[in-house]
Amino acid sequence: MEWYEIVLGIFLIVVSVLITVLVLMQKSNDNGLSGAIVGGSADTFYGKNKGRTNEAKLAKITKILAVVFFILVLGTSIVCTVVR
């Protein structure tokens, strides 16, 4: 194994652990059957300020880390196939 494979592998492990921790920290949106039929009300204070809550920040960071993970996997795959 080359040094860059080890470094990219370590980055992949760190990002995957961070994604797992952030997903486990988020609240579930389990409304049951009544939530699926009736739907959520967006006229509440929470609905209007949803982007400013900690839950929204966790979701945004999770999405960013998922993109970073995807790019790292593609980059690792390309680097390891081109160099060999």
> pLDDT tens digit string along 26-39?
887 766 556 556 65
The pLDDT of residue 61 is: 95
Instruction: Answer yes or no: is 30 within a domain.
Output: no
Instruction: Answer yes or no: is 38 within a domain.
Output: no
Residue 52's domain comprises 3-21+43-83
Region at 4 (left for phi over 0; alpha for psi -120 to 50; beta for the rest): alpha
Domain count within the chain: 1
Instruction: Answer yes or no: is 8 within a domain.
Output: yes
Instruction: Answer yes or no: is 48 within a domain.
Output: yes
The pLDDT of residue 76 is: 92
pLDDT in tens, 11-61: 999 999 999 999 999 887 766 556 556 655 555 665 666 667 888 899 999
The pLDDT of residue 38 is: 62
Enter the pTM of the model: 0.72
Find all residues with CB under 8 Å of 4, minimum gap 6, and list them: 79, 83
The pLDDT of residue 80 is: 87
The pLDDT of residue 16 is: 97
